[in-house]
Amino acid sequence: MIVLLDIVTTAAILFVVASGLLAIFGVLKIINFAHGAWLTLGGYCAVVTTALGLNPWTALPLAFVAGALLGAITEMVIVRPLYRRPLDAILATWGLGIVIGQLITLWFGRDVQFTPNLLSGTVDLFGASYSIYRLFTIAAALIIGCAFAFLLEGTRLGLSTRAVIMNETLARALGIDVARVRLITFMIGTGLTGLAGVLLTPLTSVDPNMGVGWLIGAFMLVMVAGSSFAALAFACLIFGGAQVMVSTFVSPILGGITVAVLCALVLRVSPKGFSRG
């Protein structure tokens, strides 16, 4: 039973971490390799709210806003000229990630920072105690997933976005402001990633490299998921589940590379991954 909970919560955490990357990749076909830096940025928003003596939960909106604003600047200055050169965009965002990491180091130092837990304690489930916060991540993943589904399916912006995904030239011909859709999508993606950074703080140490470890896993999952949030959720469950199973029954060292290896295998067999598009 505990293994099942481990699987679902691990999948939820992976989903939260990867969703911002997926939002950007799905619409813009740009791989944001500065994703790890935005996670770190979110973590440091939690550090800042702690230093200001605010309620730890206020870090969530703060990280979303900070991530989105920085994302807006990045989109306008760095990413915008590179939509037709996705490989250059990888290099540019990778470099940006290094720059952000160094700026954070300059400002806050290399040391591990302290942030209070959002939720602490355990709850008894199926005869064993389980971390409340890990259970909460399931709710967080569901909220993010549902919010995206609503945004894409139920709003004008979502309609324009889907039009841009399907046929950008046609969308532009129909009078859709493609540049604006891109900007907003990028901001939502980076804002969400900042938010994910805050959600990670109770699980990892907050230091200038905190996001780096999550980048490759998130990247592989998004490659498999394509542009669909449902596919991402599915991929997180399958690969997160495999990671937990391998860690539990074989070796945690192999568990750490399970997601990357399985995603690579899936992409080898089916280049489109799990997406039908």
Partner 1 sequence: MVSRLLLLTLSTALATGALADEAPIKIGIPVGLSGANSVVAPSVVQSAELAVEEINAAGGVLGRKLELEIADDASGAAGAQKAFDALVFQKEVNAIITMETSAARNAGLPIISKGDIPFIYTSFYEGRSCNPNLFVNAWVPEQQVPPVVDHFMKSEKAKKFFLVGSDYAFGRGMLQFSRAYIEKAGGEVVGEEYLPMEGTDWTAIISKLKSSGAEALITSTAGGSPNVTLTKQLRGAGVTLPYGNLAVDEGTAKSMGADAAGIFISASYVTSIDSQANKDFLAAMGKKFAGELRTPNDLSVPQYEGVYLYKAAVEKAGSTDTKAVLAALAEVSFTGPRGPVTMNKQHHAPLTMYLGQVQEDGSVKIAGTFENVDPGEQCPGL
Mask: binding to partner 1, 74-93, rule CB under 8 A, as x and -? --------------------
According to the binding rule CB under 8 A, does residue 150 interact with partner 1?
no
According to the binding rule CB under 8 A, does residue 110 interact with partner 1?
yes
Single out the residue of 111, 174, 179, 180 in contact with partner 1 (rule: CB under 8 A): 111
Q: Which of residues 113-142 bind partner 1 (CB under 8 A)?
A: 113-114, 116-117, 120-122, 128-131, 133-134
Single out the residue of 209, 237, 242, 261 in contact with partner 1 (rule: CB under 8 A): 209
Burial class from Cβ neighbours inside 10 Å (0-12, 13-18, 19+) for residue 34 reads buried
Residue number, 122 or 167, with CB nearest to partner 1? 122
Extended strands (E) in 33-145: 122-125, 128-131
The span from the CA of 18 to the CA of 229, in Å, is: 10
SS3 19: helix
Whole-angstrom CA distances from 30 to 33, 46, 94, 226 are: 9, 28, 12, 12
Whole-angstrom CA distances from 228 to 21, 163, 216, 222 are: 12, 14, 19, 9
The span from the CA of 189 to the CA of 75, in Å, is: 11
Which amino acid, 253?
I
Cβ at position 8, least distance to partner 1 in Å? 11
The residue count for binding partner 1 (CB under 8 A) is: 39
Single out the residue of 145, 202, 241, 273 in contact with partner 1 (rule: CB under 8 A): 202
Piece of the chain touching partner 1 by CB under 8 A; list 165-173, 205-213, 226-234, 266-274: 205-213
The span from the CA of 43 to the CA of 45, in Å, is: 5
CB 42 within 8 A of CB 196: yes
Mask: binding to partner 1, 233-262, rule CB under 8 A, as x and -? ----------xx--xx---xx-xx------
Cβ at position 98, least distance to partner 1 in Å? 15
Cβ at position 111, least distance to partner 1 in Å? 6
According to the binding rule CB under 8 A, does residue 54 interact with partner 1?
no
Residue number, 58 or 205, with CB nearest to partner 1? 205
Residue number, 33 or 214, with CB nearest to partner 1? 214
Residue number, 16 or 183, with CB nearest to partner 1? 16
The span from the CA of 209 to the CA of 219, in Å, is: 17
Q: Compute the chain's Rg from CA coordinates.
A: 18
Strand-pairing partners, residue 131, are 122
Residue number, 90 or 119, with CB nearest to partner 1? 119
Residue tagged 């939002």 (tokens): 23
Query: Smallest Cα–Cα separation from 240: which of 2, 55, 9?
Result: 9
The span from the CA of 76 to the CA of 64, in Å, is: 18
Q: Which residues bind partner 1 (CB under 8 A)?
A: 2-3, 6, 9-10, 110-114, 116-117, 120-122, 128-131, 133-134, 202-205, 207, 209-210, 212-214, 243-244, 247-248, 252-253, 255-256
